[in-house]
Structure 1
Amino acid sequence: MAISEGDLGQLAVRFEVLLPHLDERQRRLLMGSEARLLGHGGVRAVARVTGASETTVRRGVFELEAGEGVVAAGRIRRPGGGRKRAEELDPELVPALMALVEPDERGDPMSPLRWTTKSLRNLADELTRRGHPVSAMTVGRLLKHNGFSLQAQAKTLEGKQHPDRDAQFRYINRQAKQHLAEGEPVISVDTKKKEMLGRLPNPGRQWRPKGDPVQVDDHSFFSGPTGEAAIPYGIYDLAADTGWVNVGTDHDTSVFAVASIRRWWQARGRHDYPRAARLLITADAGGSNGYRYRLWRAELAKLASETGLTITVCHFPPGTSKWNKIEHRLFSHITMNWRGRPLTSYEVVVRSIAATRTRSGLRVHAELDTDRYPLGISISKSQLNSLPIEYHDTHGSWNYTVRPDAPGGDEPAHPTDLDTARRHVLDMLADPALTGMSREELADLTGKLTPELGPLREERLHRKRGGPRRHGSGDNKRPVLTPADRILVSVIYLRHVCSQNVLAEMLGLCQRTIGPSVKEVRRLLQEHRIAIPPTTLCFSSGQEIEDFVHTGAPTTARLQRTHHLAAPALTGMDRAELSELIDRLAVRQAALIESRRHQQRGGPRQPGTRGGVFRQKITDAERLLAAVLYQRRLGTRQVLADAFGISLSTLNNALADAKPVLEDAGITLPPAPTRFNTGAELLASARSDTPTP
């Protein structure tokens, strides 16, 4: 029987209303039911109206006639239908994938994926290369099924923890609570990362018109030796929730750090805390406010004296700077505030910092500091010991209090006076009695070596950088010592006049400033075959050098003491015999000393070592003299050590070097008639029997 167009139209209306609300199986059963009702030709008619294939409609008819049961809830098809999963077709696929994504410590060291990004596509390509063809989507599904997910690195490793770490945290917390309860200011200080100025990319994004991003440089390399940099030093007030940032333009030194605190106190602190008598500073263990810097404590002593505040400083243990309050209460908000904005000038930096706000009430003030803060300022131990600093019982190197009392000794030199004082010391060191040459000869030597010092310095910096300069040298960092000064200091050191520590203390520098200069000048002297003979004058302090130059004395206190100890009444021989004995045994003793040091080193000297150019605590001649006095039984080893002004261990080493030389030479001296109980008695007896040289 033919199906009329009217029936087909009604059928089309029913399908149009019902089919969108049914799933695949329900649509198939509905079409099969209508086809059965239409009878012969019903399958073709339903297929034409719905657009489905006749096979699908016929399959619905067969399912109705077969009387299949209801499918489980949540399913459309019967279990077992569809294509097999990749891991079922290839049982070795998952183990191969796990071997690729295991951590590097356990994975295959020869796998190329160990040193590249383990993306889904790279993993799929590697599995396919190993005979397991698979797609990137399948790899992602397998990784998730086996407990993997995309993860960034977690910054949780802090290195070796100090044993007093937790105790120091609790101590800082107690100090802060005590100061806050008494209404005293508590501040957290630190230097934020140095920011180079220019149109350099800054991480982050900001709202701008579509298609109009801020234009910045393609590379964020250092902008050159003449490039300007902003150094933000922050002070965060814990009680008031306010920040003060001093933006420096020169160097991040301890003087700059304390100057920033001084600016905060004068502009804000003394007004917010008019009755304050104490100030607590929490700081990191390193940086310009590190606990190892003497200059930091010396400048704090000056600040305490100026303000009348008793300043207590508590340093966080090494490696725990992120726990400092200023990091996450001030610096993090500043970084978020200027994200996506190039820091093109100091004004942009200052205004961006000052505009930092938080909903919790944080307000920040920023100022530009254009003062100069030179490098290389040194504070001696005597200056540090003269400061009114009280070290706490709990880890005194991290926790100390600076009293506002006037220092008991010489105050640290102000940076503006250092250049004048340093020039005065250099003029004194150029004295012919110290250099061993006239000022004209020293000038000739300087003129000969100066042109070659520059290339040597560039060679040293090239090795330090690991490559050539990216830009030409600039003039924004004036060296502390000129080439002529470096040559003069090296000559003084090579003459054995004093140690590098004494020179550094006299010039107000650190020893690391002098060491490279001496090494480079020594190399030039060797190339030019210029010998700098050592002097018998050996000084232990700058005051001794100054007294020697001003008084013109022909000898030093050390030489006088040695001259007295070499008296015939003590040695049992006249001075000419003693001098001849020392000259005769000097070569043998030097060989024995070098043999012992070779054994201690485990091999020959390494290239570039100092080669013995430093102030000896006891000279080779004094070693033999000490052996003679010990063989004469004038006193115990401690008595002789006190007489020579050295430690007992130094004397023991000297006797170990000199006694075998005397024994090999067959020299035996009779005991002295007098035995002394102290070094002072021995020296007093020697001075009474010996005229001053």
Structure 2
Amino acid sequence: MLPLPPVEHDVHGQWNYTLLHEPATARTPQATGEAHGIAERRRVLLARLADPRLTGLTSTQLAKSCIELAPLQAARSQERYSQQRGGRARRATGKLRGSKPLFDDAARVMLTLLYQRQVCSMKLLSDMLEVTPECIGHLVTETRRVLENQGHQPGYAPTRFTTTPDLLAFLDTAAIPPRTRIMESLSHPRLTGMSHEDLDSLARRLAPRQAAQTEHTSYQRRGADRQPGSRGGVFPQKIGDKDRVILAVLYLRKLCTLDVLADTLGDVSRSSIGNVVHEIRPLLMEGRHLPPRATTRYRSAADLLAAAHNEDNTPTG
């Protein structure tokens, strides 16, 4: 009996292959074509995701950062391999793995920046790139440590996306999702009582505390330390860090009720916003950043949004 001809895939072909029931010459183009199609779609999408509006860096700045971080990424990879082996390598170091990595160093930096800037969730990135969320989670965990060690502060993206069509539409036509326009209105100084610069600064100062608070809550739910290899730091998909600060500030200023805020956002429940206020209030109190009470109170979502664009701050009831 003749052996079945294997057709290696583009990614990890040493163990990812297909056994054909007929000569390889008759089926190879179809099998490799599918793998090439995925790789090509991924390559095109990565190029689009490197948009400065998403990464917060120009193409030149991003390329420079990738070059500077490459040695640190290599050292981090060797450290991870050593931990997996439980000791030093038994043969010479170098490119021991013959297969090409799924994402190169530049792509890993870019994807980590997108996640840190809360452009979208890991789940959305994995769906778009046709990989598992664990794949994105591991590369973000490793690269984020390198960026943090270098003191890089990516900040927050002005626009967040929860669906692939919204993100692609933004890249094609600069179409802004409705939620982003709503949050831009709610962040108006007339409502928050502070300038956009002060609000951004406050959100950045509270970001580490929010992350620590989230990890503490996760620890209480787990009842134990996080398992090795698991990914942490997953930001809430519905409400980002800066948006959480804005909602808490508006409520603590007594501008409106939780119901009005929920009606304004449209896709977030009253209880979710209540949880946000409950979590952010102690952080504001610790830093003595509790906002002063407003003199105007709005009874509906329409009145609240209109107040951001009107010069008159007359109460509605």
* TM-score, normalised by the number of residues in structure 1: 0.34
SS in 2 for 1:574: helix
In structure 1, what is the equivalent of residue 57 of structure 2?
437
Deviation at 1:250, TM superposition (A): 3.5
Quote the Cα distance in structure 1 between the aligned partners of 2:212 and 2:113.
Answer: 25
Asked if 2 retains the 8 angstrom alpha-carbon contact of 1:617 and 1:646, the reply is yes
1:415 to 27, 32, 35: 35
Asked if 2 retains the 8 angstrom alpha-carbon contact of 1:562 and 1:644, the reply is no
Asked if 1 retains the 8 angstrom alpha-carbon contact of 2:138 and 2:231, the reply is no
In structure 1, what is the equivalent of residue 184 of structure 2?
563
In structure 2, what is the equivalent of residue 21 of structure 1?
none
In structure 1, what is the equivalent of residue 315 of structure 2?
none
Contiguous gaps of at least 5 residues in structure 2: 311-317
Quote the Cα distance in structure 1 between the aligned partners of 2:194 and 2:59.
Answer: 36
Contiguous gaps of at least 5 residues in structure 1: 1-243, 268-366, 375-412, 568-572, 676-681
Quote the Cα distance in structure 1 between the aligned partners of 2:299 and 2:262.
Answer: 14
Matches within 5 A, 1:16-95: none
Quote the Cα distance in structure 2 between the aligned partners of 1:526 and 1:447.
Answer: 16
| 2:259 is aligned with 1:635 | yes
SS in 2 for 1:635: helix
| 2:163 is aligned with 1:506 | no
1:620 to 225, 244, 248: 244
| 2:173 is aligned with 1:551 | yes
In structure 1, what is the equivalent of residue 103 of structure 2?
481
Q: Which amino acid aligns with 1:477?
A: S
Q: Which amino acid aligns with 2:53?
A: A
Deviation at 1:558, TM superposition (A): 2.2
Quote the Cα distance in structure 2 between the aligned partners of 1:512 and 1:589.
Answer: 24
Structure ID, larger Rg: 1
Do the aligned partners of residues 632 and 525 (structure 1) sit closer, same or farther apart at CA in structure 2, a change above 3 Å counting? closer
* TM-score, normalised by the number of residues in structure 2: 0.67
Asked if 1 retains the 8 angstrom alpha-carbon contact of 2:253 and 2:294, the reply is no
Q: 1:406-439: CA deviations, max 9, x gaps? A: xxxxxxx943311111111111111111111111
Quote the Cα distance in structure 1 between the aligned partners of 2:174 and 2:275.
Answer: 34
Quote the Cα distance in structure 2 between the aligned partners of 1:690 and 1:669.
Answer: 14
Quote the Cα distance in structure 2 between the aligned partners of 1:589 and 1:424.
Answer: 32
In structure 2, what is the equivalent of residue 577 of structure 1?
193
In structure 2, what is the equivalent of residue 427 of structure 1?
47
Asked if 2 retains the 8 angstrom alpha-carbon contact of 1:623 and 1:655, the reply is yes
| 2:219 is aligned with 1:601 | yes
Do the aligned partners of residues 666 and 497 (structure 1) sit closer, same or farther apart at CA in structure 2, a change above 3 Å counting? closer
Q: Which amino acid aligns with 2:72?
A: E
Asked if 1 retains the 8 angstrom alpha-carbon contact of 2:191 and 2:250, the reply is no
Identity of aligned residues (%): 23
Asked if 1 retains the 8 angstrom alpha-carbon contact of 2:124 and 2:162, the reply is yes
SS in 2 for 1:536: coil
Do the aligned partners of residues 434 and 666 (structure 1) sit closer, same or farther apart at CA in structure 2, a change above 3 Å counting? closer
Deviation at 1:477, TM superposition (A): 2.1
Quote the Cα distance in structure 2 between the aligned partners of 1:650 and 1:634.
Answer: 9
Deviation at 1:481, TM superposition (A): 1.2
Q: Which amino acid aligns with 1:490?
A: T
Q: 1:300-352: CA deviations, max 9, x gaps? A: xxxxxxxxxxxxxxxxxxxxxxxxxxxxxxxxxxxxxxxxxxxxxxxxxxxxx
Quote the Cα distance in structure 2 between the aligned partners of 1:442 and 1:589.
Answer: 23
SS in 2 for 1:561: helix
Asked if 2 retains the 8 angstrom alpha-carbon contact of 1:495 and 1:535, the reply is yes
Quote the Cα distance in structure 1 between the aligned partners of 2:263 and 2:234.
Answer: 23
Q: 1:171-192: CA deviations, max 9, x gaps? A: xxxxxxxxxxxxxxxxxxxxxx
In structure 2, what is the equivalent of residue 447 of structure 1?
67
In structure 2, what is the equivalent of residue 460 of structure 1?
80
In structure 2, what is the equivalent of residue 103 of structure 1?
none
Asked if 2 retains the 8 angstrom alpha-carbon contact of 1:495 and 1:532, the reply is yes
Q: Which amino acid aligns with 2:248?
A: L
Deviation at 1:633, TM superposition (A): 3.6
Matches within 5 A, 1:199-598: 248=6, 250=8, 371=28, 414-469=34-89, 473-474=95-96, 476-552=98-174, 555-565=176-186, 574-575=190-191, 577=193, 579=195, 598=216
Give 1 or 2: higher helix fraction: 2
Quote the Cα distance in structure 2 between the aligned partners of 1:491 and 1:546.
Answer: 18
Quote the Cα distance in structure 2 between the aligned partners of 1:257 and 1:525.
Answer: 32
Asked if 1 retains the 8 angstrom alpha-carbon contact of 2:245 and 2:280, the reply is no
In structure 2, what is the equivalent of residue 93 of structure 1?
none
Q: Which amino acid aligns with 1:562?
A: M
